[in-house]
Structure 1
Amino acid sequence: MKMTIPGSELEIHETETPIEDDSVVSVAGRSPTQLAIARFRADKLSMISFVLTVFIIVCAIAAPILVALGVLAPNEQHQDLLSADGVVPEGAFGGISWSHPFGVDPGLGRDLLARLMLAITSSLTIALTGTVLTVIIGAVLGIVAGFSGGFVDAVVGRIIDLTLSFPQTLMLLALSGPVVVMMRKDIAEFPGLGFFHNADLANGAFVIVILAAFGWPPVARVVRGQVLSIREREFIEAARLLGASRSRLYFKEVLPNVWAPVLVYVTLLVPAYISAEAAFNFLGVGIKPPTPTLGNILSDSVSYTSADPTYFFLPGALLALIVVVFNLVGDGARDALDPKSHR
């Protein structure tokens, strides 16, 4: 049917479109998690960082396996690859070759690629374990304080203030000697840990304990703030009326609703703890050579900055890369979980 509006040149064409009864248009909704994943995948920088992060984690998992199979030999010395003075590697760029793609370290001639791969394993193990303990302590205390309120909230708040008032570096240096000695004795007597090197395990455990002991207050504060806005909602009241126990309210009702900020904090804690482990090695605390970590390799390379710049540059670049990609993944996760935020 054709219709003309008087006084205008507009014509409206109306057509009859048959509607088929058997045609059904289905609209599929997406959950908040699916929307967050879609937003994260749309961020190219975050996706590139995520792929690099997965690659780094795979290298950390594969390194001990390759060492056990004899593919990597991080402690095998190649004195023939050193110069006449027995210190600096022969050839350009720290002795880089097909057999040693990253060259060898000065003094002992050990393959730097093998040592860096195993160093990623050691540093990531410390960082991830410290992060898990930090989040567990902070999340539990934050939920208890925010949900209970009153006296419990005040006590947890004072504990947080007291923990933040301690100088972390000073406590690290003061406790490193006696605590590590006690840990080594306990590890030696504990059944099933005989295959560990006692000194390495004790030093690594001490760093993890220090990181977790002084790192949980910010997590507790973030979780407490989220819980304060959740505890008065209808589903919490419904769970109370149904007779839900305290533990169910904490871990079944409240915890699933605060995972988003905790997840973002985890992605930011890991690179911070990797950097902290490297810094602790400069202070003489942490896993000692010959077991490699990013911290003790970088600390050792400072002595050869002029004689072998490659030995200093490669560990530093690798440490910077790991910290940057983990931080970018954390930023991407924050933006994906909170669409109102902008990087």
Structure 2
Amino acid sequence: MTIPSTGLQVPAESPNEGDSAGTTPPARWSVLRNLLRDWAALACLGYVGLIVLMAVFAPLIVKVSGWGPYEFDQSAIDPNMGGIPLGSWGGISGEHWLGVEPGSGRDIFARIVYGARSSLLIALSATLLTSLLGVVFGLLAGYFGGRTDMVISRVMEFLMAFPALIFMIAVLSALPADDRAYLLVLVISVFGWPYLARIVRGQTMSLKQREFVEAAVASGASRRTVVFTEILPNLRSTILVMVTLAVPGYIGTEAGLSFLGVGVVPPTPSWGQMIASSVSWYAVVPTYFLVPGTFLALLVLSFMVLGDRIRAAVDPGGRS
């Protein structure tokens, strides 16, 4: 499940020139100001911030709630009814804020909190590695061209045409489960970096023809200096938007792989794993599915809206 290309075209921020339409890209503070005036962006940012804080302070939050993610509360389920939670709405009460898992009695709130940590850690790590690989290979292909561009472009085309989901399932199923989180990050990144690299390559090929880059070359600047001080700073907007749009895709990928049984290994909490476990209980305890499903859907939606709003703020004249 790699992130499809968005076809994003973000104008480069050149200190010497405006963009191709003759307008100057908004300054950094102008972009931030536009985002802070957007109620949808603020709401999404608030929710993302809440989930991040929940993941960071998971041990403290769980301690306050009174139940850990691995603790069983047999008194909260009815063994004569197959382990159905006692009480209404899946056992939601002052003791179990979001109810308990059917069959086990584990606290859903505690597992949601620790599941956020698993999902964000994998998604953000994969985004970081993907961004690093995409930027490096995109710069190399776009600036040096020739054989370098040909080799990197063929590799990108191969990975983008490859059935990534099938490969992920096959590889993760065959490898040991001990380091599954690291393997998830590695496998997701292998298939994710070409999409950013292709956009960085195109932007780099355009930027290296600009006058300020040609002036730096003419003044005797080394290739390294030209790439890292002239071209890369002008790709910040493109990279920022792509990274923001990539995070929700990787959160969904982790959840999907966990749902299929090749993601995070039980008993480690994961939202996708919780959704998978809820399938057999949905008819009798729908809240067990709705709680992690709602948290996951809102997080993915928030990142997607933020990415769209950042793109609009960076390129106000562009089309969605």
- TM-score bucket of the superposed structures, by smaller chain: 0.7 to 0.9
What is the alpha-carbon distance in structure 1 between the residues aligned to residue 287 and residue 56 of structure 2?
26
Shift of the alpha carbon at 1:71? Answer: 5.3
Shift of the alpha carbon at 1:252? Answer: 2.1
Matches within 5 A, 1:213-232: 213-232=190-209
Change (3 A) 1:172 1:124: same
Structure 1 match to 2:227: 250
Q: 1:87 aligns with which of 63, 80, 83?
A: 83
Structure 2 match to 1:162: 158
User: Which amino acid in 2 is paired with 1:176?
Assistant: L
Q: Mind listing any 5+ residue stretches in structure 2 that lack a counterpart?
A: 1-24
Change (3 A) 1:232 1:64: farther
User: Which amino acid in 2 is paired with 1:119?
Assistant: G
RMSD: 1.9
Structure 1 match to 2:309: 332
Contact 2:169 2:257 in 1 (8 A): no
User: Which amino acid in 2 is paired with 1:175?
Assistant: V
What is the alpha-carbon distance in structure 2 between the residues aligned to residue 120 and residue 31 of structure 1?
34
Q: Deviations over 1:33-88 (max 9, x none)?
A: 11111221222111111111111111111114545899551111100110133511
Structure 1 match to 2:251: 274
What is the alpha-carbon distance in structure 2 between the residues aligned to residue 171 and residue 332 of structure 1?
33
Q: Deviations over 1:2-31 (max 9, x none)?
A: xxxxxxxxxxxxxxxxxxxxxxxxxxxx97
Identity %, equivalent residues: 39
Change (3 A) 1:31 1:173: closer
Q: 1:210 aligns with which of 187, 190, 193?
A: 187
User: Which amino acid in 1 is paired with 2:51?
Assistant: I
TM-score w.r.t. structure 1 length? 0.82
What is the alpha-carbon distance in structure 1 between the residues aligned to residue 258 and residue 45 of structure 2?
28
Q: Mind listing any 5+ residue stretches in structure 1 that lack a counterpart?
A: 1-29, 185-198
Contact 1:79 1:86 in 2 (8 A): no
Contact 2:156 2:194 in 1 (8 A): yes
Structure 2 match to 1:265: 242
Structure 2 match to 1:189: none
Higher normalized contact order (CA 8 Å, seq sep 6+, divided by chain length): 2
Q: 1:123 aligns with which of 119, 124, 128?
A: 119
SS in 2 for 1:339: coil
When the two structures are aligned, how many residues end up with a matched partner? Answer: 295
SS in 2 for 1:158: helix
Greater C-alpha radius of gyration:
1
Structure 1 match to 2:216: 239
Contact 1:66 1:72 in 2 (8 A): no
SS in 2 for 1:291: coil
Shift of the alpha carbon at 1:152? Answer: 1.3
Q: Which runs of 4+ in 1 moved over 6 A?
A: none
Structure 2 match to 1:32: 27
The question of 1:53 aligning with 2:48 is answered yes
Contact 2:173 2:262 in 1 (8 A): no
Q: Deviations over 1:157-183 (max 9, x none)?
A: 1111111222112211222244x33xx
Matches within 5 A, 1:161-200: 161-178=157-174, 180-181=175-176, 199=178
Contact 2:137 2:152 in 1 (8 A): yes
User: Which amino acid in 1 is paired with 2:44?
Assistant: S
TM-score w.r.t. structure 2 length? 0.87
User: Which amino acid in 1 is paired with 2:28?
Assistant: T
Q: Deviations over 1:178-214 (max 9, x none)?
A: 4x33xx7xxxxxxxxxxxxxx2xx1111111111000
Contact 1:135 1:266 in 2 (8 A): yes
What is the alpha-carbon distance in structure 2 between the residues aligned to residue 306 and residue 312 of structure 1?
10
What is the alpha-carbon distance in structure 2 between the residues aligned to residue 297 and residue 307 of structure 1?
16
User: Which amino acid in 1 is paired with 2:125?
Assistant: T
